[in-house]
Amino acid sequence: MKLTKIALAVLLASGLAACNSSTQAVDKKIITEASIPGVTLIESVKSNAGEINIPYKKYKLDNGLTVIVHEDHSDPLVHVDVTYHVGSAREELGKSGFAHFFEHMMFQGSENVADEEHFKIISEAGGTLNGTTNSDRTNYFETVPVNQLEKMLWLEADRMGFLLDAVTQEKFEVQRETVKNERGQRVDNRPYGRLGERVAQAMYPDGHPYSWPVIGFMDDLNRVNVNDLKAFFLKWYGPNNATLTIGGDINANEILPLVTKYFAPIPKGPAIPKVEKTAVTLNADRYISMEDKVHLPLLSMSFPTTYARSEDEAPLDILAEILGGGNNSLLYKNLVKNLLAVQASANHPCQELACSISLYALPNPTAGKTLADMEKIIRDSFVEFEERGVTQDDLDKVKAKIESGAIFGLQSVSGKVSQLAASETFTGNPNSAKDEIARYNKVTKADVMRVFNQYIKGKSAVIMSVVPEGQTQLIAAPDNFTPKAHDFGGPSTTSADDLVARRAVDTFDRSVHPEAGANPAVDVPALWQANTANGIKILGTQSTETPTTAIFIKVPGGLYNEQASKVGLSSMTASLMSEATQNYTTEQMSNALEKLGSQVSIYADKTHTNVYVSSLTKNLDATLKLVEEKLFKPAFNADDFERNKKQSIQNIQHSMKDAGYLASNTYSKLLYGNNIASLPSSGTVESIEAITLDDVKAFYNANFKPQGAQVIIVSDLKESTIEPKIKAALTNWQGKASSVDLNFAEPKVQTNVIYLVDKPGAPQSEIRIGKRGMVEDITGEFFKANLMNFALGGTFNSRINLNLREDKGYTYGARSHFWGDKTSGGFTASAAVRADSTAASITEFTNELNNYAQNGVTDQELMFMRKAINQKDALKYETPNAKLGFLAQILEFDLKPSFVKERNEIVSNISKEEVNALAKKHLNTKEMIYLVVGDAKTLRPELEKLGMQVIDYSL
């Protein structure tokens, strides 16, 4: 888990602009060219050859808005990010969740943007968008073809300066329900979902800005009114508390007039108070516990440490890595490797004001260890660390992760823009990467020991036990801490009279939507192909933006090659291929890859065993040697097998507590009946128990063959350089697997009835509605059916989502789609809905499906679909991973690159009559099954009122 923090949080900084101080000199010529009233150029940072950096220009408007511009002409795209320096940490006690709530409200329309129009405008432009909130900032972002930039600036400026009059009581109520649904889906209805907020309550003093969750407490949101929310906006959402970052195929001097046009008239907000970083300490261990709908108990230990970007953060990161960051960590050795725990890990999450080292363990029930035992082993591991000390490998691995993470972070314009925005927001310097990298590179062994002594040894922690319902005897120790209770009174009395609004004065009409220019020309990547003597097809393309190589190997043989009695065998085999080899232990292999900054992941799906390789090109030869070792010399050790087998069983039993997992597996069973396609690729408890090590060896020997395998490559190397490397790595691989019959007959199952799976006490219900249908195709009826579905359930502004989420507030999201592969496919509409709206949601789903089938698409919806899909081309090939997916599709379906043009022509020319005929053909609800996973006791009476038969069902 620590790997994630270093690869993301540290990457966020290290990829920002790793250039030396000489690159920060201000270019006087640019200042002259960019002399626009009300705009000040702060600095211009250029790209230096051989350095990992993001060139940019930083400006400040008179109203306090910081503007950062990054020119990247590699793709005809632009990414716009507006980051406000406000998160849950700037809320008040008793008014939690406001920052996240406003993330929702900012998409609900503004003075010149109609309700639900924000998503529609960006989707229609061929773009993607989202917003996120954490404890310290809220950001809103979109990636669009470059011709759509002015429209994006207009949208972001309108909600920065012209939002409040559009925030109505009705919108407030609907989004409050949406937030409740989001909390239900992500927190209350998820195993261990409340762990973080409970630990935070115990870790931080009462009233500390990190003592409540980002999503907030529902009691707080229920108590406040729309004027409380408006007051929060007026305080924090001014331009002087925001950073606008724009990156892509643009010119800074050309876009600055647009920035000033839309943003300069917005008045600045009140002065932003500085938030102090106060050290958090505990005077004694705080034990807390909670019962939850979980299969395994969990122990969490959290020690307060420093704050983000302090001098102690880097050595604490390395300390957490040593304690529990991977296969070479102490917790892995002392708990996971010896089968005492199913999982054990440590990380050092950091926030602007405070950080903590967090350790957790889930005991393996077969080992007979309690949570108290877990705590003792973790504490004993601290003692062992003192004796072990810090090795040079510990330091080298982190440095390699930082370097590779920084480079991989440059592969997309969105990644570069988000890095610039975050660094500016939290340091005031987009170009802070030099300092970030330096502070990790200068960490010594003594530094790591110092922070261990300062923050861990002999220090107090929050120790939380999460136990299955009714099993409080399993807690590590009796609770000795209770959060302070507060009475904040009744409903808020904040009125509109309490607000002091800010109004912009314009010299133009903001109600006029900016027009986009012509769509940018987007070229399909130039491809090269090769075949090997042992039957492998290779497809590659050169991508020179970063010195990296990504390789995707697809080997026939997955779930469909298994027997039902031992389902999960291909996944188990893939897991064992990720363990020890004939020449490397699991730990040695992990260490070797980490020191290269490389990743190799192996996993099985329905039809293939897949190998994904990611490497800095300079380390590709060494990485390929390790790939060869993994693929062709797996050790298949008995100890590794037993550990993975027990972990798989526990993971399955854990997943059975998750409503979404139950719904997916039950739905597959109803659609496919008694054949392999109905079973989960991870297996069942019974099937995994039946698998032996000999089964794994036999599956590998029978199926892991080169004939029919595919290799997809995206690298900065030329074909003439990389093709021999790949062929050399795979040339000695021989053989062909036997083919399998993939004829999945449809079972006889009742349709137009509701199958009900009981999940007692569930606050939400999972709904699936659908049927078997077409296999996947590229330019045929399957493709066209998804075009038909776009307006129904294929986008945020679809009928289904707007109805159930935006109009009714029943769900966090509802959707529909046609799915499939070469063997089978179908149609599914789905949502996780508030439990008390389950019956009403089914009614709305049915009405929307029936109405669309009977009356078809509108002219406006058809035009929306055409614009949204045909303008997405600029986003399809931007990153190496996007190119991998594109090339994999070409190989799988034996396509020519011209299929992209064929699809675009279909989108442009498909008639309303053909769309409506497809809807009528495929959306007959009488032919569909209805599945509900939820609290059967309360749901059954309501579902029976719908007039449909309700059938109890279980796996």
Q: pLDDT tens digit string along 22-75?
A: 233 333 334 444 478 889 999 999 877 667 778 999 999 999 999 999 999 988
| Beta pairing class for 710-715 and 608-616 | unpaired
Confidence of residue 461 (pLDDT cuts 50, 70, 90): very high
CA distances from 547 to 53, 502, 619, 883, 924 (A): 13, 48, 10, 15, 51
Answer whether 916's CB lies under 8 Å from 447's CB.
no
Q: Across 543-628, where does the E strand assignment appear?
A: 548-556, 599-604, 608-616
Instruction: Give the three-state DSSP class for 602.
Output: strand
Q: pLDDT tens digit string along 253-299?
A: 999 999 999 999 999 999 998 888 988 999 999 999 999 999 999 99
Contacts of 137 (CB under 8 A, 6+ apart): 83, 84, 85, 86, 87, 422, 425, 426
Look at residue 12 and tell me whether its pLDDT is greater than 80. Answer: no
Answer whether 847's CB lies under 8 Å from 840's CB.
no
Look at residue 913 and tell me whether its pLDDT is greater than 80. Answer: yes
Looking at residue 499, its pLDDT comes to 87
Residue that wins the pLDDT comparison between 5 and 764: 764
Answer whether 317's CB lies under 8 Å from 451's CB.
no
Q: What pTM did the predictor assign?
A: 0.90
Confidence of residue 575 (pLDDT cuts 50, 70, 90): very high
Percent of residues, the chain, with pLDDT higher than 90: 78
Looking at residue 17, its pLDDT comes to 26
- DSSP tag of 601: E
Answer whether 601's CB lies under 8 Å from 404's CB.
no
Give the alpha-carbon dihedral of 671, 677, 678, 679, to 10 degrees: -160
Look at residue 828 and tell me whether its pLDDT is greater than 60. Answer: yes
Choice among 61-75, 432-446, 763-777 with the minimum mean pLDDT: 432-446
Q: What are phi and psi of 716, to 5 degrees?
A: -80, -10
Look at residue 398 and tell me whether its pLDDT is greater than 50. Answer: yes
Tell me the helix, strand and coil percentages in the chain, rounded to 5: 45, 20, 35
Mean pLDDT to the nearest integer, 585-604: 96
| Beta pairing class for 754-758 and 825-834 | unpaired
Look at residue 523 and tell me whether its pLDDT is greater than 90. Answer: no
281 burial type by CB count under 10 A (0-12 exposed, 13-18 middle, 19+ buried) = exposed
- Rounded to whole angstroms, how far apart are CA atoms 822 and 557? 14
Q: What is the pLDDT of the chain when averaged over all its residues?
A: 91
DSSP 782-851: HHHHHHHHHHHHSSTTSHHHIIIIIIT--EEEEEEEEEE-SS-EEEEEEEEEEGGGHHHHHHHHHHHHHH
Looking at residue 243, its pLDDT comes to 98
Closest listed residue to residue 929, CA positions, set 770, 815, 798: 770
Looking at residue 50, its pLDDT comes to 67
Q: pLDDT tens digit string along 107-159?
A: 888 999 998 899 999 999 989 999 999 999 999 999 999 999 999 999 999 99
Q: pLDDT tens digit string along 700-747?
A: 999 999 999 999 999 999 999 999 999 999 999 999 998 888 888 889
* Domains of the chain with CATH codes: 29-274 (3.30.830.10), 286-407+429-474 (3.30.830.10), 527-730 (3.30.830.10), 754-952 (3.30.830.10)
Looking at residue 509, its pLDDT comes to 93
Answer whether 615's CB lies under 8 Å from 421's CB.
no
Looking at residue 411, its pLDDT comes to 87
Helix (H) / strand (E) containing 952: strand 950-952
Looking at residue 7, its pLDDT comes to 33
Percent of residues, the chain, with pLDDT higher than 70: 96
**What is the SS3 assignment for 860-912?**
HHHHHHHHHHHCCHHHHCCCHHHHHHHHHHHHHCCCCCCHHHHHHHHHHHCCH
- Rounded to whole angstroms, how far apart are CA atoms 737 and 556? 8
Q: pLDDT tens digit string along 336-383?
A: 999 999 999 999 999 999 999 999 999 999 899 999 999 999 999 999
Looking at residue 777, its pLDDT comes to 95
Q: pLDDT tens digit string along 609-662?
A: 999 999 999 999 999 999 999 999 999 999 999 999 999 999 999 999 899 999
